[in-house]
Structure 1
Amino acid sequence: MAIFIVRHSTTYRYEREVRLGRHQLMARPRDSFDQRLIDFSLDVTPKPSEVRWLHDVFGNCVAHIEFDRASDYLRFDCEIKVDHTPENAPDFRIEDYAKDHPFTYHDEEAPDLAPYVQRWFSDPEDHVGRWLDTFLTRGTKRPTGQLLMTLNEAISDGFAYDRRTAPGTQIPSTTLELRKGTCRDFAILMIEAARSLGFAARFITGYIYVPDRDGPTWLGGGATHAWCQIYVPGSGWVEFDPTNGIVGNRDLIRVAVARIPSQAIPLFGTYWGSREDELGMNVEVNVKTASALFLLL
């Protein structure tokens, strides 16, 4: 068990005062048996006229933030405290009928999982399938857990991490062509590959704890992070971080789940002004353990 402290700051700056519109924020972690939200605070400057919380279609906590003024800057500061329990992964407990792949989800689960099995990106030339053929024999019986770990490792070992500030996610064929991408790109590549094999998969956004000493240097720290979950009968939604080769929730703090990346954007909004007014955005994310913070004080 660990207590993680997350400080997440986003600042927008403008050439002149612009009228601020509604912004939508996803930063409040999801409560579960393996992570418990102890505290969450949100400070917005300039002061908004309204902050309204709701649950979206996936049960994520979303803040709708309204403004009634103009400003030449906008800042969101979040501080999060989470009680995090890492899983002993990989520890797949799989129903007998699903221990070997390929398999078919049971009738009582299949209708609910169907949207997560359906491919999202068009792939008429089967780029994803041809990539899978380089290390898997499709249609051949293989232990399910081994298959998923192989897929996760194929991305972690075979692609270069390339931090990109531009919004959006690369389509899988682009990631396969470039052999590099961001955590979001790797997550969607694994999702599309898993879906092509008949698995239900969904997109996760959140944070990753990067140990300062005596541990691996995880990629994707210093910003929001992205990975995926795959539904395994008997184990439920199992987390895979193909950027770092992580299986399970170790060092990962879930904030939002979604079917596709555009449904889990951490922060976006509007303003009234010209495109030239926007000077840029700066994001700072810092994840520490409570003990590390105590030692620094």
Structure 2
Amino acid sequence: MRIRVSQQMTYRYAPGAKSLIQTLRLTPRNTESQFVVNWRIDVDVDGRLRPVEDAFANLTHVLSVAGPVEQVTVNVQGTVETFDSAGVVRGAVERFPESLYLRDTPLTEAGEAVQAFAEEATAAGQDDRLARMHLLMAAIHQRFDYDASENRTALSAAETLSRGAGACQDFAHLFIAAARHLSVPARYVSGYVWRGEPGSKERGGGDAGHAWAEAHIAGLGWVAFDPANKICPAGAHVRVAAGLDQLGAAPVRGAQYGGGEERMEVRVAVDALEPSQSQSQSQSQS
């Protein structure tokens, strides 16, 4: 499947900021289950856009802009060819042993309530790690309401459990916290998902991208689980960045110096290209 992504993020400051710096984790890299056909990031301000790799091998750009800055818009355009790997992630650059992903963070800390939820939700899986992760994914999907409130700070695992609702990033945090409590290394993934034809019940991937989790299963390696949709990604997902939690894999994180309140608008369009469109696009680039 060929997936085309178009994303526009506009940040406004009133009064204007004296300067700003942003870390952009917006560029996917090739794995055995996805191939980046083309990808481009543009900004509408006179600043410096420096490509780097972060500690987790995510392809990252650091945007530095001298002020005054009243508005900055980041545009992302690209096409990725994806392959059905039944959720198994192979070919990703791994900088750390999987044991690192047992480390708790404030967003993925497993308190007593999360621990109890993890054990109850996966009790039928016994000693089968893969089965327990499928049970955990299903339990989160079935028991929690989906709430994709815009421009909301990500919830911790405990907050999601207490609230009984959350968005894709919140479900990922709960999955990760529960998995780590069960001694299964787990990490957060940000990216995009094609939601299918109009009327599809797929969650996420609309105006703010998408998020899911990966768990390390002996004999298989990293396996992706999308609790928001109760699926293991099989060709409709574009994997962009991974980290211990949302803060480590956030598409954009930054800081401003001076100025007023920051206001953000995000638009994302994710489309599956027909074979004829894919062929035409490839020929136009040759």
Change (3 A) 1:17 1:170: closer
Which deviations, in whole Å up to 9, do the C-alpha atoms of 1:171-224 show, x marking residues without a partner? 2222111110111110010001011111011110111111124x7321112122
Matched AA of 1:72: E
Query: Do structure 1's residue 168 and structure 2's residue 166 form an aligned pair?
Result: no
Aligned to 1:57: 55
User: How far apart are the structure 2 equivalents of 1:71 and 1:119?
Assistant: 37
User: How far apart are the structure 2 equivalents of 1:39 and 1:146?
Assistant: 37
Aligned to 2:264: 281
Please report how far the alpha carbon of residue 254 of structure 1 lies from its aligned counterpart in structure 2 after TM superposition. 0.5
Change (3 A) 1:88 1:17: closer
TM-score (norm 2): 0.86
Query: Do structure 1's residue 80 and structure 2's residue 78 form an aligned pair?
Result: yes
Query: Do structure 1's residue 239 and structure 2's residue 224 form an aligned pair?
Result: yes
Which deviations, in whole Å up to 9, do the C-alpha atoms of 1:117-148 show, x marking residues without a partner? 2333486851112223433439x834332221
Query: Do structure 1's residue 228 and structure 2's residue 226 form an aligned pair?
Result: no
Matched AA of 1:170: L
User: How far apart are the structure 2 equivalents of 1:17 and 1:137?
Assistant: 54
| SS state at 1:134 partner | helix
User: How far apart are the structure 2 equivalents of 1:225 and 1:131?
Assistant: 24
Aligned to 2:274: 291
Aligned to 2:112: 126
User: How far apart are the structure 2 equivalents of 1:247 and 1:182?
Assistant: 17
The answer as to whether partners of 2:118 and 2:179 remain within 8 angstroms in 1 is no
Change (3 A) 1:19 1:250: same
User: How far apart are the structure 1 equivalents of 2:200 and 2:209?
Assistant: 18
The answer as to whether partners of 2:189 and 2:242 remain within 8 angstroms in 1 is yes
Return 5+ residue gaps in structure 1 as ranges: 92-110
Aligned to 1:102: none
The answer as to whether partners of 2:29 and 2:36 remain within 8 angstroms in 1 is yes
| SS state at 2:178 partner | helix
Change (3 A) 1:173 1:206: same
- Report the aligned-residue RMSD: 2.6
Which residues of 2 match residues 188-199 of structure 1 at below 5 A?
188-199=173-184
Matched AA of 1:288: D
Return 5+ residue gaps in structure 2 as ranges: 89-95, 279-286
The answer as to whether partners of 1:3 and 1:82 remain within 8 angstroms in 2 is yes
Matched AA of 2:121: F
Query: Do structure 1's residue 159 and structure 2's residue 158 form an aligned pair?
Result: no
Matched AA of 1:149: H
User: How far apart are the structure 2 equivalents of 1:135 and 1:114?
Assistant: 23
Aligned to 2:91: none
Change (3 A) 1:135 1:66: closer
Which deviations, in whole Å up to 9, do the C-alpha atoms of 1:20-40 show, x marking residues without a partner? 322111110121011011111
**Sequence identity, in percent?**
26
| SS state at 1:190 partner | helix
The answer as to whether partners of 1:29 and 1:256 remain within 8 angstroms in 2 is yes
User: How far apart are the structure 2 equivalents of 1:233 and 1:261?
Assistant: 25
The answer as to whether partners of 2:12 and 2:264 remain within 8 angstroms in 1 is yes
User: How far apart are the structure 2 equivalents of 1:265 and 1:243?
Assistant: 18
Matched AA of 1:68: A
Please report how far the alpha carbon of residue 17 of structure 1 lies from its aligned counterpart in structure 2 after TM superposition. 3.4
The answer as to whether partners of 1:56 and 1:62 remain within 8 angstroms in 2 is yes
Aligned to 1:98: none
Query: Do structure 1's residue 20 and structure 2's residue 19 form an aligned pair?
Result: yes
